[in-house]
Structure 1
Amino acid sequence: MANISKQKREEFIAKIEALKQKEAIDDTDRLLLNDIINELNEKRYGLVWEQHSEAVDDMMVNNIPVFTEDKDKKIVSAPDLPYNFLLEGDNLHSLKLLEKTHKGKIDVIYIDPPYNTGNKDFIYEDRMVGKDDGYRHSKWLSFMNERLKIAKKLLSQQGVIFISIDDNEYGQLKILCDSIYNEENFVANIIWAKNSGNNNSVNVSIKTEYVLVYGNDKKHLGKSFFFQRKESFDDILALVKKCKDNGMTPEEAQAELRNYYLKNKNIPNGTKQYKYVDDEFRIFRISDLGNPSDTAYQKPEYTYDYINPLTGEKCEIPKRGWLYKKKDLDKKVAENIIYFKAKVPQLKRYLDSVEYENVSSLLINNDLGNRDLEGVINEKSSFSYPKPISLIKKCISCNSNKDITVLDFFAGSGTTGQAVMDLNMEDGGSRKFILCTNNENNICEDVTYQRLKTVITGIRKDGSKYSDGISANLKYYKTDFVSKISKDKDYYIEDKITQHIKEMIELENAVEIDNDKYVLLLTDEEVDAFEQDMKNKNLKKVYIDSTIMLSGKALSYLDDKKVEVIPIPDYYFHKDINAG
């Protein structure tokens, strides 16, 4: 099949090459024509859109973003735990800084970006973008493209990104992500079936949204990823344990289990097959001991007689012979995994040996994010369609590692932060979160921060009790700027950036510089004071400017106490924010 586009492109390039040979064309024009050739050769397949710049991009031409802590909003409920972070400001500025502190360090990214529905729910260049904007798709793609490219750099080798989206931009987003993350790293399109539909739909009530999932490098996603505990697994085990503790027999426990299945229609049929309880109160299902081969019944090693140890009688031989040779079946019997109470012996398969199953691409979740949020803040929420906590917990739990860093750079109401803390409370994990959001209409201060504060302290803003609280620590940063340009001859950008180094170190290491366990040294004077007082500190790490030095005596003492001395990275000081 002929590639018509390729033929046309080659024809154009041939004409341009011929034009370059004319004497009237100078070197400047030849360079311009080379640029045209490069543009013609650039795109083979993918999205093509009108690219737009943003004011937040323009802001970084002459300014370097930095973080400044709002110390009044710091929350500490467990000093020995690592810190979580809420970053207020445009998420592009925050992402540029995270590229310095967390490049290759984020394990899970979950984002719920604006869906660009055309109902003026998407802001670009400080304006609401509606259906009447002929460039709304191009603006949305430009907006997402820049942020997703940085997100790719932040992901760890085993990192995964989850992106919630609906029909309005799903097609464009899928192709964009194929380009940025490579289509080989596409993991799944999870279809989220929810309980509420779009009542504004003219023809069909839309009751589904999507979660696009990509790995940074899918080949590194091993068996610890995208597995989940079987439905009602914990409840089933607890039921049988309760029967045992109450002195019931295994037969009585088995009857209780089957009655439980009858009453709970939502339990998957596959799980309901685990309806037997053995003498040790382990739950199991049975499966055929017959040989899958059509010719096994012709071989004596698969058609031998076997004595039922319960009755002393010969067992009925499966029609196609036994699954195992006699010596192997004897081993299975010794391991007590053969069920002899059936007409033909069966193989036991225990529930606790198949604790996990693959995550399904169809997620039925009827929880409402608004109810979650209103339960925390104790008032009617004006926030548009926050995602339910359970949905985000499902995404985060796809990584079975409980010590990971989770990023949400469209944090909105802070659901992701609460999901991380809830998971840690449930399974004893030590996950950390970083949330980025702007403060439009005071969202960050009045909604995101207040939600996180209530979850940690257990006390709502109005003083009412929400819960017993969750042990966690939080720091609140705001984006600020250091100018690259100044008429002051004594103006040094490095000095201005140094004033915000503390925030960068804290963010990168999830700690607080407290001048006891974690110490920051930026000047010779600070080094002298530190060396005089260091034996009175409970030191863990010392962060030091690479241009100053500790004495040999101090280094020997710190080494003996196994205290890390860490030079401040040079990349903190890059004037070009894209160089991080």
Structure 2
Amino acid sequence: MHSLKQRFSNAVKCIFIDPPYYFIDTKPADTFAYNSNFKLSSWLVFMKNRLEIAREFLKENGIIFITISDDGAHYLKVLADDIFGRENFIADVIWQSRKSISSDGLLSISSTHVLTYAKDKTAINKAHFKLALDIEGFDLEDELGKYKIEPFDAPNVRENLEYKITNPNNGDVYTPPKGRHWRTTEKEYLSLLERNRIQFGSKGLTKPQLKVYLEDAIEAGKGKAASTLWSDVTPDTILWTSTDTTTNATKHQQAMFGDVVFENPKPENLIQRAIELSTDENDIVLDYHLGSGTTCAVAHKMGRRWIGIEQMDYIEDITKARLLKVLEGEQGGISKSVDWQGGGSFVYFELKKYNQDFLNQIMAANSKGELDEVYADMAKNAFLKFWFDKNEFEKDENFRSLDLDQRKELLISILDENQLFLNHADMRDSRYHVSEEEMNLTDLFYGAKND
């Protein structure tokens, strides 16, 4: 993430992450390739370090969505309040992530939290939080197009909105019903009448009604405001039951890869909802716990630009492969609802490994002999801890008595973890064997030459 800050600071409109969850009870196996058995303090530090950087990526009107289970939700809420500010908290969205009943606990857990924060709540586009217009209500039509009928009166009494309206068809005179007022001033009413936006019943013989044309409503950006309980097909609340469950997301995963790669993948239309609430076309969406690539797949299908970051090795075989399928027109998830036909492109980068290469070699060694070869290379070429004394280390008989795993642990401890990847400033040093193509691409990415 730090390597991208220079270019993308204050540039991202939406961050959606599904990070490693904190679990009170030790899990017998990780829910995915990250360690899911964090101690609470370690997990909070892990989250804090990344959320602080994430905030720097957000535009002033940007929004972050963080999925989390019950065990960690309230700890994370306090942490996120500190990082983003309590005044920028938008909602704790409740998503019904499971419909089957589990007897594992006293209550069957069927929901997941989606903590939602703005970088600056006063700067966000409130129109995004209007849900899509329900066009099914516009079932009448005349020469001006599709329309629906709404009452021309509204609750409460306002003197400036009380006046007499005469039905031009029969001369009947109307005033607002008791305790109500007309929806517009008299001047605005006359304008609406002239533009055929008022009718007096289907036969023209009753009280005034407002004609709302679909085209006008679309232009005005009208829609139903999202509230705190999302439960129907055109969701208007924050219980996201209309989004798919993890079961459907797992089926989608199986269709693409023939196997279950992640235990609890997030469905595409859950992320679609978040992106709709926070972005417009061509805005940038970021996911720095990319996993199987769902966030970027959805962003791509929706015409957004995107950045995905993943540290695990499966990115080549799973994440990248999935996104290539999206380019080819893959039809799972939201594809049909957005009429996705394929297309577009993306650039795939890996950080140039330095000490990380030695770390990988240590972990892969199957014998003490192999480990000795790795150490010999490390002693010449790796960036080691400042306190490491090569001569003393090689004379230490205790090292010789250690078993393979203990030796690995010791060799890892002498690697400088701040040098796992090659610094941009060092890439022209011949010791690091950086190709001309890699240097040119890196300079192009950062927009500057490192002389």
TM-score tier after normalising by the smaller chain length = 0.5 to 0.7
Which letter does structure 1 place at the counterpart of 2:212? R
Residues 31 and 263, structure 2, Cα contact 8 Å, conserved in 1: no
Partner of 1:496: 426
Partner of 1:284: 148
> What are the superposed Cα offsets for residues 286-344 of structure 1, whole Å, 9 maximum, x if unpaired?
114368328x5xx9x945461x33x3332444434862565543222112111211632
Equivalent positions of 1:178-193 (< 5 A) are 178-193=81-96
Partner of 1:329: 189
Partner of 1:153: 56
- Structure 2 residue runs of 5 or longer lacking an equivalent are 227-236, 332-339, 356-381, 390-421, 429-433
Residue 290 to residue 193, structure 1, CA distance change in 2 (3 Å)? closer
The answer to whether the aligner puts 1:227 opposite 2:130 as a matched pair is yes
2:45 equivalent among 142, 146, 149 = 142
Partner of 1:555: none
Shift of residue 147 of structure 1?
1.0
Residue 445 to residue 199, structure 1, CA distance change in 2 (3 Å)? same
Secondary structure of the 2:427 match is helix
Which letter does structure 2 place at the counterpart of 1:104? N
Partner of 1:357: 224
Partner of 1:453: 324
Shift of residue 275 of structure 1?
4.6
Shift of residue 209 of structure 1?
0.8
Residue 503 to residue 179, structure 1, CA distance change in 2 (3 Å)? farther
The answer to whether the aligner puts 1:469 opposite 2:342 as a matched pair is yes
The answer to whether the aligner puts 1:444 opposite 2:374 as a matched pair is no
Shift of residue 111 of structure 1?
0.5
Residue 105 to residue 504, structure 1, CA distance change in 2 (3 Å)? farther
For 1:331 and 1:106, the matched residues in 2 are separated by: 43
Partner of 1:370: 250
2:267 equivalent among 384, 388, 398 = 388
Partner of 1:103: 9
Equivalent positions of 1:53-64 (< 5 A) are none
Secondary structure of the 1:192 match is strand
CA RMSD of aligned residues (A): 3.4
For 1:167 and 1:478, the matched residues in 2 are separated by: 35
Residues 164 and 174, structure 2, Cα contact 8 Å, conserved in 1: no
The answer to whether the aligner puts 1:119 opposite 2:27 as a matched pair is yes
For 2:124 and 2:90, the matched residues in 1 are separated by: 10
Shift of residue 172 of structure 1?
0.4
Which letter does structure 1 place at the counterpart of 2:249? G
Which letter does structure 1 place at the counterpart of 2:305? K
Residues 31 and 264, structure 2, Cα contact 8 Å, conserved in 1: no
Residue 214 to residue 508, structure 1, CA distance change in 2 (3 Å)? farther
Which letter does structure 2 place at the counterpart of 1:312? N
Shift of residue 178 of structure 1?
0.4
Partner of 2:200: 340
Shift of residue 480 of structure 1?
1.7
Residues 101 and 504, structure 1, Cα contact 8 Å, conserved in 2: no
**Percent identity, aligned pairs only?**
24
Partner of 2:301: 422
Which letter does structure 2 place at the counterpart of 1:100? Q
Shift of residue 415 of structure 1?
0.5
For 1:182 and 1:305, the matched residues in 2 are separated by: 51
Partner of 2:114: 211
Residues 253 and 261, structure 2, Cα contact 8 Å, conserved in 1: no
Residues 114 and 122, structure 1, Cα contact 8 Å, conserved in 2: no
Residue 281 to residue 414, structure 1, CA distance change in 2 (3 Å)? same
Residue 160 to residue 508, structure 1, CA distance change in 2 (3 Å)? farther
For 2:341 and 2:189, the matched residues in 1 are separated by: 54
Which letter does structure 1 place at the counterpart of 2:274? C
Compute the TM-score of the two structures, normalised by the length of structure 2: 0.68
Residue 506 to residue 211, structure 1, CA distance change in 2 (3 Å)? farther
For 1:474 and 1:494, the matched residues in 2 are separated by: 19
For 2:34 and 2:152, the matched residues in 1 are separated by: 65
Larger Rg over CA atoms = 1
Secondary structure of the 1:450 match is helix
Residue 151 to residue 275, structure 1, CA distance change in 2 (3 Å)? same
Secondary structure of the 2:348 match is strand
Structure ranking higher on relative contact order (CA contacts 8 Å, 6+ apart): 1
For 1:404 and 1:167, the matched residues in 2 are separated by: 31
For 1:305 and 1:180, the matched residues in 2 are separated by: 56
Shift of residue 110 of structure 1?
0.8
